[in-house]
Amino acid sequence: MSDAADFAALPKLELHLHHEGAAPPEFIRRLAGEKKVDLGGIFDERGHYAYEDFWHFLKVYEAATEVLKTPEDYARLTTAVLEESAASGVIYTETFLSPDFCGGRDLGAWKEYLHAIREAADKAERDMGIVMRGVVTCIRHFGPDKAKETALCAAETHGDWITGFGIAGDEKASNPKDFAWSFDMCREAGLQLTAHAGEWGGPQSIKDALDDLKVTRIGHGVRAIEDLELVDRLAEEGIVLEVCPGSNVALGLYPNTQCHPIEMLRERGVKLTVSTDDPPFFHSTMAKEYEALHRAFGWDEEIFGQIAQTALDAAFCDAATKEKLAKRLEIRA
């Protein structure tokens, strides 16, 4: 494997993608133009999203979502996001959807957004072969009460398409246990669970997510490396990390891919997957993530095959969908 086309050709499963965060900037600009909305200075002179640090990134992210106001906007967003993912070799993607942005946590409105998103996703599957499922995500810095409303939207729409519940946003706002009610309720409704932790919070934030929210996957989780006992616990319990190396480097958590702990975590037996998080914000794609890992650690087709298999096992979709995806991985092997 040497050029970009080789990395794009590998079949990939992505488990950690924020739907709005994956919006191509040109799509947001077009929508803003159509709606005559002035987004202010959220783009740099080359047209990319511009931000200073993680907290400013959250602000720019929320500003960009200002133009996404209707179910139709989200249908168009879905098509734009899935086109990018499919071009990068992604055959399955779980995207984080927030009723906070889709209808202000009103169940009726949320269902309309969901219907529009699903229609666009079904069309993308027919046209491009990419399969999408939704993980409803509450926003930590909006607080536990709003999270309960989000969780209710998730539980009410749980099925073969909305398959999981998670939490994103500023890891330093509120404790995981403040959200335990929402996670317990979603677990009882049959949803599978993931939580962002161990990105801006240290190892303790990962322990809290495991102990208080009882998740089977952790979004990021890379700072487990600061506590080797925790690393061993993750390996023993088979907790899957949704690792987003390009995001961590772009936001300054690590200076470059070589310094990223993903290889140390893998060597110590932690189950890992690779995702982009908010790709256009970090000038990333799944193919670029693979290429960077190949260059930094010599990851080859065999290791990428293991990563895809781990993602398939950890995916929140049903067995029939997994079987279809497994065939597509086998064809490649």
Cβ atoms of 31 and 67 within 8 Å: the answer is yes
> How far apart are CB 219 and Zn ion at their closest, in Å?
5
For Zn ion, the closer of residues 171 and 277 by Cβ is 277
Annotated active-site residue 199? The verdict is: yes
Q: Which stretch binds Zn ion (CB under 5 A): 112-120, 146-154, 203-211, 272-280?
A: 272-280
Give the one residue of 277, 281, 307, 325 binding Zn ion; rule: CB under 5 A: 277
Look-up of token digits 């749980």: 158
Q: Which stretch binds Zn ion (CB under 5 A): 42-50, 85-93, 269-277, 309-317?
A: 269-277
> How far apart are CB 37 and Zn ion at their closest, in Å?
25
Q: Which residue is nearest to Zn ion (CB)?
A: 277
Q: Is the dihedral of CA 322, 307, 171, 48 positive or negative?
A: negative
CA distances from 42 to 48, 57, 63, 69, 92 (A): 8, 10, 8, 18, 30
Cβ atoms of 171 and 196 within 8 Å: the answer is yes
For Zn ion, the closer of residues 94 and 277 by Cβ is 277
Of 14, 20, 84, 199, the active-site residue reads 199
For Zn ion, the closer of residues 9 and 173 by Cβ is 173
CA distances from 215 to 180, 193, 197 (A): 11, 5, 11
Binding residues among 131-160 for Zn ion as defined by CB under 5 A: none
What is the per-residue DSSP string for 132-195?
A: EEEEEEEEGGG-HHHHHHHHHHHHHHBTTTEEEEEEES-TTSS-GGGGHHHHHHHHHTT-EEEE
For Zn ion, the closer of residues 263 and 277 by Cβ is 277
> How far apart are CB 21 and Zn ion at their closest, in Å?
7
> How far apart are CB 318 and Zn ion at their closest, in Å?
24
Binding stretches for Zn ion (CB under 5 A): 277
Q: Which residues are known catalytic residues?
A: 199
